[in-house]
Structure 1
Amino acid sequence: MQNNNIVLPTQTLGIIGGGQLGRMMAIAAKYMGYHVHVLDPTPNCPTAQVADGQIIAAYDDLNAIQELSRVSDVITYEFENVDLEAASYIENLGKLPQGAYALEITQNREKEKQLMKELDLPVPDFAIVHNGKECEEVLKEVTFPVVIKTCRGGYDGKGQLKLESELDIQEAIQFVEKNKHCIIESWLTFDKEISVLFTRTQTGDIEFFPVAENEHKDHILSRTTVPARVSLEVQEKAYKAARLLADKMNIVGTFAIEMFVTGEGIYINEMAPRPHNSGHYTIEACNISQFAQHIRAICGLPLIPVELLQPAAMINILGEDVTSTLQAMKQVNKGYVHLYGKDEVKTKRKMGHITFIGENLQEQIEKFEEAKQ
């Protein structure tokens, strides 16, 4: 059940999850005049620092979910591993425009890939396994390398293992015996990775952001550049695939789809039913950010047609880079720094990002990298 009523400014938005995505959602909502409450188990989490109130509890605490529902006129989430029982409860109250179905699909790589196959979208060959014996049988028939992933959980390279040859089969069997429900996929050699972000309303209107090109280091997004260096044909294929998935899943809000580009073809990789790291550039480079557009969609407001004002490059700031980045920014007078307010600096943890905009992006980035050294 979806609520198509307009949630007016001065009403309250509830957010499940208190990380950086929730923080940037909350900032956008506050600019628009909404009150914000967040549910997160960590006191003074990044979102709580800019919200009006926080419920400190586990995400699957139904008493806490009921309290968040009581104080909120509409509820959203900043990550896909939301408890489905909790999501269904809020949806039945008419306060979760995004619904529980998008969560159900994106929480499970098997359901995700099966849906893509049903829509005849290009995906790598895959097989589902539940135990070591099934894993061994599948690996007898594949062409190496392949990648094995848990069907639930995992991000930034966690919960997956690349298998280079038959010598890795025993390690794969142990991986499956530990994690049970897994997917084995063909390893794709691709030219680049792109992401398509869009926002869809409760009535089906949709606005696409420019196709973004992503670079990873150690499985973590390192840089996003916009516009992506791909042909119009690839862009059209990417938008068409995204539109098919958006309509099939009845998406509401901002949604991200990661794809691989091989020549003039695409393969769909994974989806995220909320704003995405690769869309952070929209804050400075577009006439409306992925976060503000998301708030408009879930609150029943019309979307703003998206314009890319200037080319952009977004670079993640990980824990090991915080000091050198801030030192470099004393010498570089271009670039917008966003820090997320996390209380503990950890290696490989996303602590913030920096966005460069303008026509001379490569020159700006080179100066920044030199200053970091």
Structure 2
Amino acid sequence: NNGNTLYCPPIGHRQERGDYQESWQPMSMEDAHLKTSQEMADKVTKALGGSGMWGVEFFIGKDGVYFSELSPRPHDTGMVTLAGTQNFTEFELHARAILGIPVMNIPLVRNGASAVVLADTENTEFPNIIGLEEAAKFRNTDFKVFGKPTTRQYRRMAVALSYGPESTDELVKKAKEVASKIKVD
């Protein structure tokens, strides 16, 4: 934003096999850890240069903050922003930065969570996505089907979203329940 670095409210996530399974926003963090994370993110993104949404991942351990990875684009764990957790999704923020459209701040609007829908097997034919009607019955939820033309084991095919005043733990459970209704055939 005009050379200034803005920060989304922290997003937490859980991984399996090195891939994100669930994410939630906000991620509760100690103020000192948040400040350190933002300082590290600012240094690395400014050193790399350019405009856009940067997904900067950290691990928080007993001894402090550890840099994990950086994506010079929206990050998969940030799909939780599609649940309306902040004033702009990560995709809107990326487009606005590239187009030079101002963003004054990025406040948390509501709590949210996401859970992935994975393929079980490899298939070179366009998959059928089933269970959408059941998944749509849940209140304060949504899902996004990616429309990928083929599958392989553990390939992310969709994401389930939940939002509301509940705790992020409760919202993760709800997103996982919605995701469990969606099957890739």
Residue identity opposite 1:270 in structure 2: E
Does 2:14 match 1:208?
no
Encode CA deviations 1:230-279: one digit per residue, 9 max, x unaligned: 21111111001011112222231111111111125011111111111111
Partner of 2:125: none
Counterpart of 1:306 in structure 2: which amino acid? I
Q: 1:366 to 1:325 in 2, by over 3 A?
A: farther
**Superposition deviation, residue 363 in structure 1:** 3.6
Distance 1:365 1:297 in 2: 29
State the Cα distance separating 1:330 from its structure 2 match: 4.5
Structure 1: distance between partners of 2:97 and 2:176: 38
The 1:264/1:231 distance shift into structure 2, 3 A limit, reads farther
Equivalence for 2:110: 310
Q: Please report how far the alpha carbon of residue 206 of structure 1 lies from its aligned counterpart in structure 2 after TM superposition.
A: 2.0
**Residue of structure 1 aligned with 2:148, choices 342, 351, 354:** 342
Match of 1:266 in 2: 65
- Alignment counterpart, residue 236 of structure 1, candidates 1, 10, 35: 35
Note the C-alpha offset of 1:334.
Answer: 2.9
Q: Which amino acid aligns with 1:349?
A: R
CA–CA distance in 2 between the matches of 1:346 and 1:228?
31
CA distance in 2, matches of 1:225, 1:288: 16
RMSD over aligned CA atoms reads 2.5
Amino acid at match of 1:302: P
Which of 135, 142, 145 is matched with 1:329 structurally? Answer: 135
Q: What amino acid is the match of 2:144?
A: H
Larger Rg: 1
1:58-97 pair list within 5 angstroms: none
TM-score, scaled to structure 1: 0.42
Q: How many residues align?
A: 172
Question: Which stretches in structure 1 are left out of the alignment for 5+ residues?
Answer: 1-200
Question: Which whole-Å CA distance do the structure 2 matches of 1:293 and 1:368 have between them?
Answer: 24
Structure 2 CA distance for aligned equivalents of residues 323 and 367 of structure 1? 20
Partner residue in 1 for 2:96: 296
Residues 291 and 233 (structure 1), Cα distance of their counterparts in 2 relative to 1, 3 Å cut? same
Q: 1:279 to 1:366 in 2, by over 3 A?
A: closer
What is the CA distance between 1:348 and its match in structure 2? Answer: 1.0
Within-5 A mapping of 1:1-373: 201=1, 203-263=2-62, 265-283=64-82, 284-320=84-120, 326=132, 328-360=134-166, 361-367=168-174, 369=176, 372=180
Which is helix-richer, 1 or 2? 1
TM-fit CA distance, 1:370: 5.5
Q: Sequence identity of aligned pairs in percent?
A: 21
Structure 2 CA distance for aligned equivalents of residues 224 and 364 of structure 1: 10
